[in-house]
Chain A
Amino acid sequence: MATQHSRAAARLMNAPAVFVLLVWMLIPLCMTIYFSFMDYRPLRGVADCCVGFQNYERFITSSSFLSSVATTLIMVGGILAITVIGGVLLALLLDQPIWGQGIVRILVIAPFFVMPTVSALVWKNMFMNPVNGLFAYLWKFFGATPIDWLSELPLFSIIWIVSWQWLPFATLILLTAVQSLSSEQLEASEMDGAGALSRFTYIILPHLGRAITVVILIQTIFLLSIFAEIFVTTNGAFGTRTLTYLVYQRVLESQNIGLGSAGGILAVILANIVAIFLMRIVGKNLDN
């Protein structure tokens, strides 16, 4: 519908926003790239320009790099698996007419409103503490030895905490998708002889395909940069050091900004590789 004139006007009005966005993104990105080619250690007073790819080389060849990439992928994959599977099941459950539906739905959404730091602390101190945690009491009640979750199963514990936070998001999106499925389609499949399980695999799951894609894409973007939960619980110890966390350690603990920046750029590249793969695998669900 747009005429030549209105399109030009639209472009003009968009311009400030686009400009701010560019500045917002490009300046930090350019500075990071710039730092990554410097030997920059402010506390030692070192700021030598242009050391080439030395920082990248050091970051990649350090023994922590590959393991941190693996940790990142395992963590993101695990959280995605738990939230998507759990989200689908919860959405199906919440779609049933049950007593007190409104309250149940609000309760299910609640974890999403809790700040990551707070929820990680709550889990760490109230549930997973080997002495005073609720799990410890539960284990003792059944006569078992309490597990020190954060040192014995650290990766799993963090996956669990973050999944708890993101499950509501997945549930909410999948619930709206479940609700948009026409009841006549379900009835038709019922008459066609499909049992509950067949109805799920052949009708409901394909219908949810698009919503699941959206959940996976959005969550991946946010999960690649998990930080607070690791910081609060294990501090990156016991094999829970993700790429983001490694960058943080290089910059702040080792005070090596050049090395950290190189890591940051590598993280951006990794995120883009993951994004391209995701788009390839699931993106075709998005076009109709």
Chain B
Amino acid sequence: MGRITLDKVSKSFGEVNVIPPLDLTIEDGEFVVFVGPSGCGKSTLLRLIAGLEDVSGGQIRIDSQDATTTPPAKRGLAMVFQSYALYPHMSVRKNIAFPLKMAGMDQAEQEKRVDYAAKVLNLADYIDRRPGQLSGGQRQRVAIGRAIVREPSAFLFDEPLSNLDAALRVNMRLEISELHNNLKTTMIYVTHDQVEAMTMADKIVVLQAGVIEQVGSPLELYQTPRNLFVAGFIGSPKMNFFSGQEAAKHDAATIGVRPEHLDVSTSEGLWKAKVGVAEHLGSDTFLYVHPEGVETLEDTVTVRVDGEMALRHGDEVWLTPQDGKIHRFDGAGLRIA
């Protein structure tokens, strides 16, 4: 079981209030992703749950037991650190067995669990090597192995993929999702990368400056972002925002349209624009166009078009937002239903 409840949890470092009082419930078996820009307090929040930092106020409950002052080892949680934090002088086997040894488990059971973890994570070939002799991806797997042998009630991941190269990151993302499907254990995953959040999460928690901006499934956040911050943060490339007269036409202070919801035509449309840079990805092309006579929050508007579309720098195009795909926000930046 791994149901974690945060009740008015807050954290200050001296004078600096990093996390104002915050409520959150994480259901058993859920894959929850904390996402937000760097320095917004994601790691701090995770470390509060882990018990590596003391809360300044509020209560943390794990399976309805008050765990606010429980030491980390007694919370039944396992953590995978960004730097992996493997023990460099121990072999992979000893690394993975370490938590079991500390728990005083008998030798046979230790071996059984380590072998199982090694099989699941494809570690068998280098089980007797030291961490220093492994590649980044392999170290990552060892760190995960060390976490799973304990059979914790929840896993905590702090940006586990940020030290890997792009291709490996996609691989490990799949492996972690796969692991979650197999184990069905609660996982809390911290990242600043919204792509990881969108692809892995059952539930995303968007944070900014220690405040929860929105909680919801990836599609909920994509379709109905609660405010300008979430709208701009979730989705890649970023949503385009228009203000001034165009927004006023829709009774809003700001309107937002995602790049994939703008139709492009060379002959007719709502807004005129000039093509700047075009990024050809093959399947899609991202056009960065400069609108003319429209007020936007940023200089360029991003449009996703079909990969076959032949447009070049300096071409003149017309943009039209698709029906029902316009997000409206009021003066305070909140979504208008």
Contacts and interface: CB of A to CB of B under 8 A. Distances in A.
Chain B interface helix/strand/loop/mixed: loop
B79 A188 contact: yes
A14 B67 CA distance: 66
B60 interface: no
A190 B89 contact: no
* Residue from B77, B85, B103, B146 having most chain A Cβ neighbours under 10 A: B85
A161 to B, nearest CB: 35
A288 B87 contact: no
B89 to A, nearest CB: 4
A194 B87 CA distance: 13
B100 to A, nearest CB: 9
Contacts of B77: 191
B132 A188 contact: no
B73 A188 contact: no
A206 B51 CA distance: 26
A182 B73 contact: no
B98 interface: yes
A189 B87 CA distance: 9
B87 A191 contact: no
Given A184-B81, A184-B83, A187-B81, A192 B102 contact: yes
Interface in A74-123: none
B73 A193 contact: yes
A207 B102 contact: no
A193 B103 CA distance: 7
A126 interface: no
A63 to B, nearest CB: 47
B81 A192 contact: no
Nearest to A199: B102
Contacts of B50: 191
Contact of B85 (A185, A207, A288): A185
B87 A185 contact: yes
Nearest to A188: B85
Contact of A209 (B82, B86, B89): B89
Interface in B130-157: 132, 146, 150
A198 interface: yes
Interface string B67-109: 0000111000111011101111100000000110011000000
Contacts, number: 58
A140 B77 CA distance: 58
A198 B77 CA distance: 19
Nearest to A205: B89
A203 B78 contact: no
B81 A193 contact: no
A202 interface: yes
A209 B87 CA distance: 14
A207 B98 CA distance: 16
Contact of B99 (A185, A193, A206): A193
Interface string A132-159: 0000000000000000000000000000
B102 A194 contact: yes
Nearest to B52: A187
Interface string B35-66: 00000000000000011100000000000000
A258 B79 CA distance: 69
A191 B103 contact: no
Contacts of B73: 190-194
Contacts of B79: 187-188, 191
A209 B90 CA distance: 13
A202 B98 contact: yes
Contacts of B88: 207
A124 B146 CA distance: 56
B72 A191 contact: yes
Interface in B276-317: none
A184 B158 CA distance: 11
Nearest to B82: A184
A176 B50 CA distance: 29
A222 B167 CA distance: 54
B106 to A, nearest CB: 16
Given A193-B73, A288-B132, A187 B102 contact: no
Given A192-B150, A193-B73, A209-B89, 11 more contacts: A184-B81, A184-B82, A184-B83, A184-B85, A185-B87, A187-B79, A188-B87, A190-B73, A202-B98, A206-B87, A207-B89
Interface of A: 182, 184-185, 187-194, 198, 202-203, 206-207, 209, 288
Closest 7 CB pairs of A and B: A192-B99, A188-B85, A193-B102, A193-B73, A184-B85, A206-B89, A184-B81
30 contacts: A182-B83, A182-B85, A185-B85, A185-B86, A185-B87, A187-B52, A187-B79, A187-B81, A187-B85, A188-B81, A188-B146, A189-B102, A190-B72, A191-B72, A191-B73, A191-B79, A191-B99, A192-B73, A192-B102, A192-B146, A193-B73, A194-B73, A194-B98, A194-B102, A202-B87, A202-B98, A203-B87, A206-B87, A206-B89, A207-B88
